[in-house]
Structure 1
Amino acid sequence: MNAPAPGAAAVLSGTRTIVAEALTPEAFAPFGDVIEASDAVRHFPINGGNTERYHDLADVDAGPGGRVIISIFRGQPRAMPFPIEMMERHPLGSQAFVPMSGRPYLVVVAPAGDAPSGGDLRVFLARADQGVNYARGVWHHPLLALDGVSDFLVVDRAGDGHNCDEVELDHTVLIAPPR
């Protein structure tokens, strides 16, 4: 049996399999922002022309009573195919991941709102030069490093209130190896 096309899914013995699609700003827009140096974003020279500034790439949202923090997360590589059994969201603020180790990684998301089912998931293959900013309340899987231990600069919220909800999916979704 052939693997489903990128972004498509097939149901096999009660388990859904999904293939990662390319991470583009347009495809990811319902879930947040793609953070990348691209001719498609506003950019201009600074520092006497020695630096190109790619400006205002993500809507960092610390929410009421929060403050923006910067951390480094070190993710262990995941073996493929990888089972997705749970998702999380941050209801009080956004959360951005910027890769620092020069490796691609996977991004699994579902729309903000009620707890997602396995059929709500989308999987993106992020290049090593692309970060993501999950909008407030967007469901996502925790960090999915590929190919080796990987560090990520993480920009998110600290402050009062409970800011991490986790749910188990109604059925397991397998991510097929990226092509």
Structure 2
Amino acid sequence: MKEIDIQPLTRTAFAGFGEVIEMEAARNFPINSGKCIRYHDLAKVETTGENARPMISLLRGEPYTLPLELRMVERHPLGSQAFIPLSDNQFLVIVAEATEAGPGEPLAFRTKTGQGVNIGRNVWHGILTPLGTRSDFAVIDRAGDGVNLEEHFYEEPFLIR
């Protein structure tokens, strides 16, 4: 089984797969008579297809332990998918470049406190993978007509450590 090392999540390392959602280095300005700072336009919500619209959902995920075996990735051809943690818990973000034969070798990123991600439309990625304890997330993705989920099962699993 091939092993994949987990790396820190940075804007540069994740740029080919979507956006990192965080307050650091984000365009911001005061609102509400200076009582609030708005971190503005952190990710591009993508939707395409019949009757498409952005939707907001909440998820509660059970934690995973490391190392873990990765057997499957998925992608959403009709819209992006943003995961914004509602706690200080870390989570894994697993992505893979698209090749002519399907998804390539995965990359694994560990978030730091305050980071979320917006996974671009049609980008192969792992499932939601909280670490440590049960975690809640706000999810922004696409609602509408059409099939917006493709799954790929690797012939041999990868070990994420």
Question: Does TM, scored on the shorter chain, surpass 0.5?
Answer: yes
- Which residue type is aligned with residue 128 of structure 2? L
Q: What residue in structure 1 maps to residue 152 of structure 2?
A: 167
Tell me the distance in 1 between the aligned counterparts of 2:47 and 2:113. Answer: 26
Q: Does 1:51 align with 2:32?
A: no
The CA RMSD over aligned residues, in Å, is: 1.1
Q: Does 1:116 align with 2:86?
A: no
**Which of the pair is proportionally richer in strand?**
2
Q: What residue in structure 1 maps to residue 58 of structure 2?
A: 72
Residue 76 of structure 1 and its aligned partner are, at CA, apart by 0.7
Counting aligned pairs with the same residue, the percent is: 48
What secondary structure does 2:65 align onto?
coil
- Which residue type is aligned with residue 157 of structure 1? R
1:5-84 mapped onto 2 (5 Å cutoff) = 15-38=1-24, 40-65=25-50, 66-84=52-70
Q: 1:46 to 1:162 in 2, by over 3 A?
A: same
**5+ residue gaps, structure 1:** 1-14
Residue 113 of structure 1 and its aligned partner are, at CA, apart by 5.1
Tell me the distance in 1 between the aligned counterparts of 2:106 and 2:93. Answer: 10
Tell me the distance in 1 between the aligned counterparts of 2:85 and 2:99. Answer: 27
- Which residue type is aligned with residue 103 of structure 2? P
Residue 169 of structure 1 and its aligned partner are, at CA, apart by 1.0
Residue 146 of structure 1 and its aligned partner are, at CA, apart by 0.5
Residue 170 of structure 1 and its aligned partner are, at CA, apart by 2.6
1:137-156 mapped onto 2 (5 Å cutoff) = 137-156=122-141
Residue 19 of structure 1 and its aligned partner are, at CA, apart by 1.5
Tell whether the 8 Å contact from 2:49 to 2:146 is kept in structure 1 after alignment. Answer: no
| 60-69 or 80-89, larger mean C-alpha shift | 60-69
Residue 112 of structure 1 and its aligned partner are, at CA, apart by 3.8
**5+ residue gaps, structure 2:** none
Instruction: Deviation per CA, 1:70-118: give whole Å up to 9, x if none.
Output: 001111111111000000000000000000121001000012454214x
Runs of 4+ in 1 over 2 A off after TM superposition: none
- Which residue type is aligned with residue 127 of structure 2? P
- Which residue type is aligned with residue 159 of structure 1? G
- Which residue type is aligned with residue 76 of structure 1? E
Q: What residue in structure 2 maps to residue 10 of structure 1?
A: none
Residue 21 of structure 1 and its aligned partner are, at CA, apart by 0.7
- Higher RCO (C-alpha 8 Å, min separation 6): 2
